[in-house]
């Protein structure tokens, strides 16, 4: 019989194969870490795009809808102390101009392109007439306020003594002047006869009121104490009679036209203060001359503005 082969030498232990595989994997891992530590910007960007599509973290969008956000891949990687990589942050950026150009290249720009601002259309004839009318109204208001301010200053100067003594009260309101003649010094108690010395005061008042146009309302007022005499059955008749007396004193000035004046008798319906004391009741016994200026007085040409236009157009 031939001789048997000698026994083979014992091989490597079985665990060594597993250990070798583990070492290979560790080497690959550290090589990968080393490659990340020194990033090539171009290769990293290509890898990021491939991984983005592979993992499905972002949907594919048309070129006209380029996302302007930040890439989902880790922007910074520094496993060891080393020099800063060429690019530490990858962003997908699109300027508004590039975005608009891209839309136009895809055929979508024409539909969404904003129109250039157009010049406003010229005003119509109706709008021009309304503008002119408003300008005329504003000018008339300014002229009225100027006239009233001048008249009020003239009244203050003419009635300075009477105002100090409390015989006359002057008030200025928007569009009007109120000259309030108190009963004291002008009328006797329960009488509608004007004190003769007060006619000189009325002459000064009428001279100022005659300088400018405007409606003059003469209103008589009483307190709330009823009156019943042989001449006056009630405060209505007394207040009306006093207002008429003041009216006749005003009309002594021929420069005041009668159609400018209106007379009112208001009795105790409009007190300036409560009738709860003799002093307050004395304040309510009065005659008021109210000069009112209307805008239409200074807009006599408004009808012409409605029918005439520059250049002779009718």
The pLDDT of residue 66 is 53
CATH of residue 242? 3.30.1330.60
Least confident of 28-42, 45-59, 67-81: 67-81
Going by the DSSP 8-state scheme, the letter that residue 141 receives in this structure is H
Stated pTM of the model: 0.54
Domain count for the chain: 2
Query: Residue 201: what are its φ and ψ, rounded to 5°?
Result: -65, -40
Could you tell me if 197 and 290 lie in one domain? yes
Could you tell me if 289 and 262 lie in one domain? yes
Could you tell me if 145 and 71 lie in one domain? no
Could you tell me if 101 and 150 lie in one domain? no
Written as one string, the DSSP assignment of 53-91 is HHHT-S----GGG---SB-SS-S---SSS-PPPS-S--B
Q: How far is CA 120 from the centre of its chain?
A: 23
Could you tell me if 204 and 270 lie in one domain? yes
Could you tell me if 43 and 188 lie in one domain? no
151-205: pLDDT as tens digits: 899 999 989 999 998 899 999 988 899 999 998 888 988 888 999 889 999 999 9
Dist CA 303 CA 309 (whole Å): 11
Q: Is residue 304 included in any domain, yes or no?
A: no
Could you tell me if 42 and 154 lie in one domain? no
Could you tell me if 143 and 255 lie in one domain? yes
Could you tell me if 52 and 176 lie in one domain? no
Dist CA 288 CA 219 (whole Å): 5
Q: Is residue 205 included in any domain, yes or no?
A: yes
- Local confidence band at 123 (pLDDT 50, 70, 90 cut-offs): confident
Dist CA 89 CA 76 (whole Å): 6
Could you tell me if 190 and 286 lie in one domain? yes
Could you tell me if 160 and 53 lie in one domain? no
What percent of the chain lies above the pLDDT cut of 70?
A: 71
Residues in the chain: 314
- Which structural domain, as residue segments, surrounds residue 43? 15-111
User: Does residue 45 carry a pLDDT above 90?
Assistant: no
Q: Is residue 9 included in any domain, yes or no?
A: no
28: CB partners within 8 A, 6+ apart = none
Q: Which of 88, 111, 134 is the last residue of a domain?
A: 111
Supply 173's token pair: 């309101």
Dist CA 134 CA 149 (whole Å): 23
Q: Is residue 309 included in any domain, yes or no?
A: no
Dist CA 12 CA 15 (whole Å): 8
Q: Which of 68, 84, 111 is the last residue of a domain?
A: 111
Could you tell me if 232 and 172 lie in one domain? yes
Name the helix (H) or strand (E) containing 265.
strand 261-265
Q: Is residue 1 included in any domain, yes or no?
A: no
Q: Is residue 41 included in any domain, yes or no?
A: yes
Dist CA 85 CA 108 (whole Å): 39
User: Does residue 313 carry a pLDDT above 50?
Assistant: no
């Amino acid at each position: 019989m031939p001789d048997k082969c000698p026994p083979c030498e014992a091989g490597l232990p079985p665990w060594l194969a597993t250990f070798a595989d583990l070492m290979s994997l560790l080497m690959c891992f550290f090589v990968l870490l080393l490659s990340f530590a020194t990033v090539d910007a171009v290769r990293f960007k290509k890898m990021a795009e491939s991984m983005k599509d592979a993992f499905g973290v972002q949907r594919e969008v048309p070129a006209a809808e380029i996302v302007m956000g930040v890439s989902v891949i880790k922007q910074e990687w520094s496993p060891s102390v080393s020099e800063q990589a060429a690019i530490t942050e990858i962003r997908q950026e699109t300027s508004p101009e590039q975005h608009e150009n891209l839309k136009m290249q895809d055929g979508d720009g024409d539909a969404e392109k904003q129109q250039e601002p157009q010049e406003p259309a010229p005003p119509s004839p109706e709008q021009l007439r309304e503008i002119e009318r408003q300008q005329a109204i504003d000018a008339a208001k300014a002229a009225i306020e100027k006239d009233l301010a001048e008249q009020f200053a003239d009244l203050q100067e003419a009635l300075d003594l009477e105002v100090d003594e409390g015989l006359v009260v002057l008030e200025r309101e928007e569009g009007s002047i109120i000259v309030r003649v108190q009963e004291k010094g002008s009328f006797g108690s329960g009488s509608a006869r004007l004190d003769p010395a007060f006619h000189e005061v009325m002459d000064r008042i009428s001279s100022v009121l005659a300088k400018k146009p405007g409606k003059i309302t003469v209103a008589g007022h009483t307190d709330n104490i009823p009156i019943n005499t042989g001449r006056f059955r009630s405060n209505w008749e007394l207040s009306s009679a006093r207002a008429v007396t003041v009216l006749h004193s005003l009309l002594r000035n021929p420069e005041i036209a009668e159609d400018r004046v209106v007379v009112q008798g208001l009795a105790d319906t409009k007190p300036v203060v409560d009738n709860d004391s003799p002093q307050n009741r004395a304040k309510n016994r009065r005659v008021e001359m109210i000069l009112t200026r209307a805008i239409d007085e200074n807009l006599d040409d408004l009808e012409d503005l409605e029918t005439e236009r520059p250049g002779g157009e009718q």
